[in-house]
Structure 1
Amino acid sequence: MAGELNRRTFVKAAGIAGLAGLSGDVLAQQQRLTWFAGGTGGTYFPLSNQFKQVVEQNTDFTLQVQSTGASVENVGGLAQGQADFALIQNDIAFFAYNGTGIEEFQGNAVESLRGVATLYPETIHVVTLAGSGIETLEDLEGATINTGDLGSGTQVNALQILESAGIEQGDFTEQNTGFSQAADQLRNGDIDAAFLVGGWPVGAIEELATTNDIALVEISGDARESIKGEAQWFADDAIPSGTYSGVDEEVQTIAVQAMIATTEDAEADTVQAVTEAIFSNLDQISIKQQFIGRDSALDGMSIPLHPGAREVFGPATTSPANETENNETAGGTTTPG
């Protein structure tokens, strides 16, 4: 499967469409930037479009927001110069920068990758339909499971979690699509469960819950401790009761951290202007606003901070595994979220 990801995702070329409807005079005054987001059924895409509005209203830049397969593909877009900014998970950023963790990055470190800001917890959702008989992670053995888009951070997390629960890839049937398609598969009975990673509430799950009785599988107890012991970037999280129709009790789970990334080639003035525009106008952001702020923008920063972002936030703290490099470029240490 990892080889399949490598072929189809990490080196995947993403076409960049031009912006239409702008006059020559406006284009002469504005610089277009490309921003890789994620699938339209998740959180990355609508949040990126809110960032687009803020940046375009407060700077001379225009943003082209592109729907993608999310984290791993987005790293590839940054590495290949197809994207100026991208949303990725902090664990995928750590893997990419250090050339470790998953096969896509083994011996293929993206050392040009730089952090801009961390944003909010990306909650692991394991979704099934009520009455499916799937109540624990162990019940997923033998099931047909959508683990997310090929090469996405969702798929990486899903396979890590299943393996930690003792379920190898040969122990279940894997399907790979984006969030919206996964919800359709559940609705149609084509799969037994789906992993979705995103800040709650995830739109695709909200929509599914309006047409079907859903259930969320807990990640708790010994299983959660085992997962966190094997992957330090996971943190405890919970989905509040009432987040989704019909789910009336809090669901224990885990989370990673969403972040904005760029590369060392990005101009410091550009990164500073885009970052300042976003964090000075958070009152214009409605998605995940309660989690996004200057005081938490370096929490879980797992790669070196871009100098332009450092002008906005000050020096970053980073993971112990990155200590030497990051002390030279950003200063300090912590553990990714």
Structure 2
Amino acid sequence: MKSDLQRRRFLKATGIAGITGIAGCLGGEEGDEETDLSWHAGGTGGTYYPLSNEFKTIVDGNTDYSLTVQSTGASVENVGSLASGDADFALIQNDIAYFAKNGTGLDTFEGEAIESLMGLATLYPETITIVTQADSGIETLEDLEGARINTGDLGSGTQVNALQILQAVGIEEGDFEEENSDFESASDQIRNGDIDAAFVVGGWPVGAIEELATTTDINIVEVSGDTREAVKEQAQWFADDTIPAGTYEGVGDDVETVSVQAMIATHDGVEDDIVENVTAAIFDNVDDLTIKTDFISADSAQDGMSIELHPGAQAYFG
């Protein structure tokens, strides 16, 4: 089948190995597995992981299903897990979703469209935060040339966004020393002086940055003015965003930046009724959430949706 070929080729291209845990996505196996669903999140220091565990509590408490939440390298890795059937649901960025679905935008997906990928709902803006020590001397994006920069996990949406933003101001690979790790490790590197800056993509406040700011004086590099316009021209997915003053200890002013959109994705192997029930559980009970509550709602759940909705989600949203 064409879709199976696409999935095998994608796994070969990305190095994501193994196809496991597909019983939950099929929803029709015998035994308890038919109610066990796999949900892939992101690093434990970001927003995806704790938010996913709040979704787990809601779904477990309001359906016959049980979600198993897994920490991952986030967007690009999660697309691979959805393509292989290793995940039934995952959090990804809307730009990565579009690239994967259409086989464009990134070398990983070029000519390798993941046609099985489907949308469930958009959630909240994922803010691009560029963190340095306060005494780093880095005040603008242009100051990052020649710096040691953690651009996020290899293959993550954070890395994709970081490279797009750096390229927008003329900083190409080779013009800086690149490090790759999750947000918590990147924060440790900032604290220890092992790197000059780190890109973090997630809904503010990001736990890893909050913790860093309690022990280290930090600065957040602005993406504003003509620089922000250049970034948005480089990648149409970016939108204007602001990190409010006081979000992080020691950062007393609003910080202008850009963002993408977080979304829940699934794939066409998950049965319609499972997707509809999971969607209903989440969006009928958004009052039970404590994370990103100003943004997540049924009314806004299709804002910025970049790929085709799964029929189960369509049945809920109408």
TM-score (norm 2): 0.92
Q: Deviations over 1:259-296 (max 9, x none)?
A: 00001111010000000000011111101111000110
Q: CA deviation at 1:9?
A: 8.4
- Aligned CA distance change for structure 1 residues 170 and 307 (closer, same or farther; 3 Å): same
Residues 120, 264 of structure 2: 8 Å contact kept: yes
Residues 104, 111 of structure 2: 8 Å contact kept: yes
Partner in structure 2 of residue 67 of structure 1: 71
State the SS of the aligned residue for 2:265: strand
* C-alpha distance in structure 1 between counterparts of 2:150 and 2:88, whole Å: 30
Residue of structure 1 aligned with 2:304, choices 300, 307, 326: 300
* C-alpha distance in structure 2 between counterparts of 1:280 and 1:179, whole Å: 31
Q: Give the 5 Å matches for 1:1-337.
A: 10-13=14-17, 28=32, 31-314=35-318
State the SS of the aligned residue for 1:190: coil
Between 1 and 2, higher relative CO (CA 8 Å, sep ≥ 6) is seen in 2
* C-alpha distance in structure 1 between counterparts of 2:220 and 2:242, whole Å: 11
* C-alpha distance in structure 1 between counterparts of 2:201 and 2:221, whole Å: 13
User: Aligned letter for 2:129?
Assistant: H
* C-alpha distance in structure 1 between counterparts of 2:251 and 2:73, whole Å: 28
* C-alpha distance in structure 2 between counterparts of 1:143 and 1:90, whole Å: 29
Q: Deviations over 1:157-216 (max 9, x none)?
A: 000000001101110000000000000000010000000000000000000000000000
Q: CA deviation at 1:77?
A: 0.2
Across the aligned residues of Structure 1 and Structure 2, the Cα RMSD in angstroms comes to 1.7
Residues 120, 309 of structure 2: 8 Å contact kept: yes
Residues 29, 60 of structure 1: 8 Å contact kept: no
Partner in structure 2 of residue 323 of structure 1: none
User: Aligned letter for 2:142?
Assistant: E
Residues 30, 60 of structure 1: 8 Å contact kept: no
* C-alpha distance in structure 1 between counterparts of 2:146 and 2:224, whole Å: 21
State the SS of the aligned residue for 1:69: coil
State the SS of the aligned residue for 2:259: strand
Q: CA deviation at 1:30?
A: 6.3
Q: CA deviation at 1:43?
A: 0.3
State the SS of the aligned residue for 2:132: strand
- Aligned CA distance change for structure 1 residues 127 and 16 (closer, same or farther; 3 Å): farther
* C-alpha distance in structure 1 between counterparts of 2:293 and 2:270, whole Å: 26
- Aligned CA distance change for structure 1 residues 106 and 208 (closer, same or farther; 3 Å): same
User: Aligned letter for 2:198?
Assistant: A
- Aligned CA distance change for structure 1 residues 83 and 247 (closer, same or farther; 3 Å): same
User: Aligned letter for 1:171?
Assistant: D
State the 4+ residue runs in structure 1 displaced beyond 6 angstroms.
6-9, 14-17
Number of residue-to-residue matches in the alignment: 301
- Aligned CA distance change for structure 1 residues 47 and 140 (closer, same or farther; 3 Å): same
Unaligned runs of 5+ in 1: 1-5, 18-26, 315-337
Residues 97, 110 of structure 1: 8 Å contact kept: yes
* C-alpha distance in structure 2 between counterparts of 1:11 and 1:112, whole Å: 19
User: Aligned letter for 2:229?
Assistant: E
* C-alpha distance in structure 2 between counterparts of 1:211 and 1:133, whole Å: 19
Residues 44, 50 of structure 2: 8 Å contact kept: yes
Unaligned runs of 5+ in 2: 1-9, 22-30
- Aligned CA distance change for structure 1 residues 8 and 191 (closer, same or farther; 3 Å): farther
* C-alpha distance in structure 1 between counterparts of 2:52 and 2:44, whole Å: 11
Residues 11, 76 of structure 1: 8 Å contact kept: no
- Aligned CA distance change for structure 1 residues 222 and 189 (closer, same or farther; 3 Å): same
